Structure 1
Amino acid sequence: MNFIQEGIDKGLITFDDERKYITYVHRNKRRNYSNPEEQVQAESFLKLVLRYGYDPKRIKQFVAVKIGSDTREADIIVYNDDECTSAHIVVECKKEDVSEREFQQAVSQAFSYAATGTVRAKYFWVTSKIKDAYFEIPAEEPKNYLSVPDVPQCGVSKLAKYKYAKGGGELGKQQLFELEKVTEDELTRRFKQAHNSLWGGGELNPSEAFDELDKLIFCKIWDERKPRKKGEAYDFQIFSEGTEEKTKQELQKRIHALYDEGRKKDSEVFKDNIRLSAEKLRTVVGYLESIHLGNTDLDSKGRAFETFMGSFFRGDFGQYFTPRPIVKFIVDTLPITNESLVLDTSCGSGGFLLHALDKVRQEAAEYYPDFESNPKMVNDHYKHWHDFAEKNLYGIEINEQIARTAKMNMIIHDDGHTNVIAADGLLPVDDIADNDGNITQQGLYSKTGNKGFAYNRFDFIITNPPFGSGIKQTEQAYMHQYGYAQKGVSWLDPKSKITPRESQSTEILFIEQCYKFLVEGGYLAIVLPDGVLTNSSLQYVRDGIEENYRIVAVVSMPQTAFQATGAGVKSSVLFLKKHTASMTEKIQNQKVRLQDGIKSRHNYLQQLEQIDKEKKRHIKDLKGFENPQGLSGKALSESEAYKEWKKEAGTEYKGKIDALKETLSEQYIQQKQQEGEDYPIFMAIAEDIGYDATGKPTRNNELEIIGQELGRFIEGIERGEA
């Protein structure tokens, strides 16, 4: 309900042309609406009139209240009479981003107003718009106050035990309310404020607070999904149970019951129990009880959770999540359908998986356009996208907490199921498949497993692997299984042999791991630092890509692409299509044939042997070596002058060999270009991708145009036209 607009329509408030000042018509009071607290106060006043039914004549704002020798100002007082002599409700308004400590101070302040001899109200209400707290002052104990689920509506003498029920309704004469849809910005603020309230006092660190909030969001979602009759109360709210202690204990019981019920259906999401005290539980419920996550727009709640989550993880873990415009570009470009098997080997919070799910959900809407009004289409529409989410979407994330968050992200997006596991994405597939993401007390992964993870299985892999970190051979036992972790045999060095590299970058290893996971003809879209594509020392990586994949496209991202998330590495998105085994073998055999032919035509081995003989003869004959002292034998070989001369001679002949190798390498490259498979590669440079270095939106997003063209290019490949 838009209280501000309805207030304007009913003549309760007016604004100046710039909407800077608000005028409360019943009091002819003009106030500065740019003040955040005034915005909350305006909405609270309108709620009292439009929702609770109070006559504006019985409402005063900015009321002077004398407490001892001090005179203060109560924001709003509702009276029982037209003369405004008998106070009924005191309202204290705070700005939306007020801290939990400041909110509790406002509770004490409002109580002091309500309990003072000059006011003596029965109820008081403290609100920041995103959080409400209601209290009753018992006549028999005016020095205390009790929590209640709401303040009474006009004419109601007895409050209901709760405020929110399915479909609304009444309990006694008190109106009950359905949960509300909220905007993305408001939901983000609620998540952040709830999180801050959990760790602000120092009882939990931010990471622990994030986990506990995740659990309560999980409970909230399951509460909304429980079957209920109209008028039946939601469990995720504060009930009036008499005493304060009983109110908190009963709330704690209901939340734990919701958590246990949800875990039975989604057992892989959380393994440990809720660890919050009854007081902390009540605090978080206060931020979330009034909203309906299920009915809130899917994109809005998804972005709200990701915004809150992204700001938290960047602060605590240094994780760099892929910006939404890049995720959208990659997923929208690929021909993913509800039958596709999709994997992200470094899924983070699940951004790629979620956008793939959204794409299939949109596909379902195209197949079943009338599903919202046609009961026969509802199940077909649901099955179309939900089966895809349940059976076809897979993710691997090395950080257990982030993996858990990815699962929650999927649940918030109405999935309720996910194949995301906490594991090192570079582990051998059997170790990944045996792991359910639950780490035992001994630090080992449990073995209940998800057998959906298998090599040669996935149609699409969409991923942004971690950049810049290297894995040493001595650190991980699996390194020997990676070809990119070995130095291969050089075709121009007859003495070379396969030897382990001391270390290898994670992003390079992920290229190979993704190849193993893909089916033949499957697509890999991977974000890579530009060094992989340009550094001469990484030519062996590009050679491997050329052998294993058809290079579909290279789309260069701007330098600013990841700066807003804390990373400044220049990167590109590489689109690859896995060759058949026979094609890979053909390319490899062709390379060997070209290399052998070039060496044979140039008598390469004989030339190497000849250069080596010349070098030995040069050194034996002391050619060009000045030896005025006539040194010989050991005295000669140990002299500094001889050592320097011999080194220079070796460098001279090495230069001859290097020149020969360079000649042959150039010929090889030329011949490979002439005789190798010839196909077009889509190339694009994106300079503006919808946001700047700070993350602020720009007016242009070149990825939208590039994506359309690349999508058509890929369609052509699939039709055999490109």
Structure 2
Amino acid sequence: MAEAIPTKPEETVRQQVIKDLMRLGWKETQLRWRPEWQVPDTPHDLTKRERGQKYAVCGSADLVAFADDSGEWYALQVIFEFKAPDIAHGKSQLMRYLSNEPMAKMGFWTNGSQTLAVYKRHQSEWVFVENAGLPHPTDDLTQPPDVPPTWKTMRQPSEAELSGALKRIVATVVVSDPHVVRREDQLRELLHILLVKLESDAIASRSANRDNPVDFRIYGDALTKVAITASKVRESYKEYFHKQRTRIFNAADREELFLSDDTLFAVAAELSPFRILGDDVDLLAKAFQIFRTSALKSGEGQYLTPLRVVRPAVMAMEITSADKVIDPACGSGAFVVEALRQVASREFPNENEAYHLVKWANDNLYGVDKDDIGVKLTKATMVAMRDGSTHVLLGDAIRTNLWPAKYQKLSQELGAPTEKFGLEQFTVVITNPPFGESLKVKAADCRAAGYTISTYAAMKGPNDHVDLEIGLVYLEQCYRLLGVGGRVGIILPETYFFSYSYRWLPYWLNGRLALRGMLNIPMEAFEEFCRAKTNFYIFEKVGHVETDFDSTAIPKKKTAKRGTAK
């Protein structure tokens, strides 16, 4: 008979802790110990993990507990350690793991007789509690600072920290709210809290005394903090709503927040340590992209443009304060915000030149999107950057025939789409439109809006139209928005320019748009959103084409005759 392998002491402790945690209400699906949780070694490794890449580890935790059943890193709640032989070594190990896991709220060490709980305070301070009991799944593990945070003491989060905080809020906090249960309503409510945080950051960053406590923070003591913090967030939102009602909010929006006090407190606890509106807009744009992704359905063909694509794309367009710029599919505003940032950096770097930047943005920077969340996010970002968001418009940029009846603001701001040569008031159009083979504009809509590109796609005659991929219809709308000599920067699938199915496209481009450059976008750049191979194409508007469409100019696919060699 084989001799039984003795169980290691730490394994006995681990199994006992697992049993005790489940008795306290933790579900088995919230606990992980096999395989052990791999803790990233550096902040760079955190980013690699978020992107699904291989990363270096500094160690493996004996047991971890999650806030939900997802098992995702952003839902990590508690890290447990049992290996260290004494409490001093246990403390050191937990502090290292907690430092490298930004979303973990607590560390817990025990050797079966001694225990130690370790909490992270908001200013990276530590709280140690010896002889602590095991945490319950409903425990509030936040450890707010003893002194209210100021602009100086708040810190700029890493990309991974901010990404984790927002994903955690969307995936584990708001979804369990007992008052707001519809996903769309939850996201709208969460956006409104984010606007309160953004306004608090904006006020604090411009304050003459940056040692004053910021408005968006945790209030009260251990017994009152949930109720008082929630009340303060509600009050701040109401003030912001009335201040920005005409510039940011929609007619259906209200001055109340409908989420529960517990949810409002949890969101405040996650975001209050950080400067979201930092020294530049990179983190803010990243935050809104993460948030916006939660509201998207991939079937809609809407994929956010990662910042690692936005920045070089805008640089390639060489936008200056002499340009008038529009993104007709602005999403959460990444292109227009980056254009503002780059013009500010190159031409108006000093605070005393801010007036010139604001005036340029108010007069010459436009964004359009049919999604109210995207428009609201873009407006909020631009307001925080002090441009006023005057020209961020809600509407369908493609179906211009609907503008007079449904989107009067578009007609007022962009001009009458029935004019001979279209709208023609911009020098730069830069955009990443929705795309996808199944996402098309109906032939009837193309005809009603006067698009010519759908007649070329039909390859029959000047009066024939065909259902056409929306990305290609956006390409013509970009052409119509530009004056001659203006330039288009647009992200489109590579297949449009290399597939035989689109052999008609060069004939439509001829005389209208000339290709001036192309940036290759690796598929990995969009790995968080989609896997389509795309490029950033730069065109110049070289003229107008008024001649009738000639279908005979487009070569027909040759087919072999029967009985003859191919």
Instruction: Provide the TM-score with structure 2 as the length reference.
Output: 0.65
CA drift of 1:448 comes to 5.4
1:601 matched residue in structure 2: none
Cα 1:216–1:529 change in 2 (3 A) is same
**Secondary structure of the corresponding residue to residue 486 of structure 2:** strand
Residues 222-271 of structure 1, C-alpha deviation per residue, up to 9 Å, x if partnerless? 23334867465433233338857862563254233333244247334785
1:187 matched to 2:170: no
Tell me if structure 1 keeps the 8 A contact 2:486–2:541: yes
Tell me if structure 2 keeps the 8 A contact 1:484–1:509: yes
1:383 matched residue in structure 2: 355
**Secondary structure of the corresponding residue to residue 267 of structure 1:** coil
1:272 matched to 2:253: yes
**Secondary structure of the corresponding residue to residue 519 of structure 1:** strand
CA drift of 1:519 comes to 0.8
Task: Report the RMSD for the aligned CA atoms in angstroms.
Answer: 4.5
- Could you tell me how far apart the structure 1 residues matched to 2:130 and 2:242 are? 37
Tell me if structure 2 keeps the 8 A contact 1:471–1:506: yes
Cα 1:497–1:270 change in 2 (3 A) is closer
Cα 1:33–1:345 change in 2 (3 A) is farther
Tell me if structure 2 keeps the 8 A contact 1:320–1:567: no
1:462 matched to 2:430: yes
Residues 390-439 of structure 1, C-alpha deviation per residue, up to 9 Å, x if partnerless? 3322122233323333334445666552532232221227x55x6xxxxx
1:221 matched to 2:198: yes
- Could you tell me how far apart the structure 2 residues matched to 1:190 and 1:386 are? 31
2:306 matched residue in structure 1: 323
1:419 matched to 2:391: yes
Tell me if structure 1 keeps the 8 A contact 2:434–2:471: yes
1:481 matched residue in structure 2: 450
1:630 matched residue in structure 2: none
**Secondary structure of the corresponding residue to residue 258 of structure 1:** helix
Tell me if structure 2 keeps the 8 A contact 1:527–1:574: yes
Return the match for 1:533 from 486, 489, 497. 497
Q: How does 1:540-619 map to 2 (within 5 A)?
A: 540-555=504-519, 557-558=521-522, 562=526, 564-568=528-532, 570-581=533-544, 584=545
- Could you tell me how far apart the structure 2 residues matched to 1:359 and 1:19 are? 38
Q: Considering only CA atoms, is the larger Rg found in Structure 1 or Structure 2?
A: 1
Return the match for 2:236 from 255, 261, 284. 255
**Secondary structure of the corresponding residue to residue 460 of structure 1:** strand
**Secondary structure of the corresponding residue to residue 156 of structure 2:** coil
Tell me if structure 1 keeps the 8 A contact 2:325–2:427: yes
Residues 317-366 of structure 1, C-alpha deviation per residue, up to 9 Å, x if partnerless? 6632233343333221122102211112222222222221222122135x
- Could you tell me how far apart the structure 1 residues matched to 2:309 and 2:505 are? 24
Tell me if structure 2 keeps the 8 A contact 1:557–1:573: yes
2:442 matched residue in structure 1: 472
1:512 matched to 2:495: no
1:679 matched residue in structure 2: none
Cα 1:300–1:252 change in 2 (3 A) is closer
Cα 1:240–1:555 change in 2 (3 A) is closer
Tell me if structure 2 keeps the 8 A contact 1:188–1:308: no
1:294 matched residue in structure 2: 277
1:484 maps to amino acid: I
2:487 matched residue in structure 1: 523
Residues 181-240 of structure 1, C-alpha deviation per residue, up to 9 Å, x if partnerless? 333332222222232311145743444333222211111222333486746543323333
CA drift of 1:545 comes to 0.8
Cα 1:36–1:297 change in 2 (3 A) is farther
Residues 539-584 of structure 1, C-alpha deviation per residue, up to 9 Å, x if partnerless? 443212112123323455556564552233x433332211244xx5
- Could you tell me how far apart the structure 2 residues matched to 1:536 and 1:315 are? 26
1:238 matched to 2:224: no
Tell me if structure 2 keeps the 8 A contact 1:223–1:258: no
Tell me if structure 1 keeps the 8 A contact 2:440–2:467: yes
Cα 1:248–1:482 change in 2 (3 A) is same
Cα 1:349–1:488 change in 2 (3 A) is closer
1:86 matched residue in structure 2: none
1:396 matched residue in structure 2: 368
Tell me if structure 2 keeps the 8 A contact 1:522–1:578: yes
Cα 1:353–1:269 change in 2 (3 A) is farther
Tell me if structure 2 keeps the 8 A contact 1:548–1:578: yes
**Secondary structure of the corresponding residue to residue 320 of structure 1:** coil
1:163 matched to 2:148: yes
Structure 1 segments unaligned to the other structure (5+ residues): 1-17, 44-60, 65-69, 78-88, 95-101, 108-125, 134-149, 152-161, 168-177, 372-377, 435-443, 491-495, 597-654, 656-722
1:212 matched to 2:189: yes
Tell me if structure 2 keeps the 8 A contact 1:394–1:420: yes
Tell me if structure 1 keeps the 8 A contact 2:193–2:237: no
1:453 maps to amino acid: L
Cα 1:357–1:218 change in 2 (3 A) is same
Residues 657-679 of structure 1, C-alpha deviation per residue, up to 9 Å, x if partnerless? xxxxxxxxxxxxxxxxxxxxxxx
Cα 1:477–1:33 change in 2 (3 A) is same
Instruction: Provide the TM-score with structure 1 as the length reference.
Output: 0.52
- Could you tell me how far apart the structure 2 residues matched to 1:262 and 1:339 are? 31
Cα 1:402–1:246 change in 2 (3 A) is closer
**Secondary structure of the corresponding residue to residue 241 of structure 2:** helix
1:198 maps to amino acid: V
Tell me if structure 1 keeps the 8 A contact 2:115–2:131: no
| Aligned length, in residue pairs | 444
2:443 maps to amino acid: Q
Tell me if structure 1 keeps the 8 A contact 2:455–2:461: no
**Secondary structure of the corresponding residue to residue 425 of structure 1:** coil
2:216 maps to amino acid: F
- Could you tell me how far apart the structure 2 residues matched to 1:406 and 1:252 are? 22
CA drift of 1:302 comes to 2.9
Structure 2 segments unaligned to the other structure (5+ residues): 1-56, 61-80, 103-107, 120-126, 416-422, 554-560, 562-566
Cα 1:473–1:224 change in 2 (3 A) is same
**Secondary structure of the corresponding residue to residue 29 of structure 1:** helix
Tell me if structure 2 keeps the 8 A contact 1:238–1:282: yes
Q: How does 1:80-95 map to 2 (within 5 A)?
A: 91=129
- Could you tell me how far apart the structure 2 residues matched to 1:71 and 1:284 are? 36
- Could you tell me how far apart the structure 2 residues matched to 1:207 and 1:92 are? 44
1:145 matched residue in structure 2: none
1:29 matched to 2:6: no
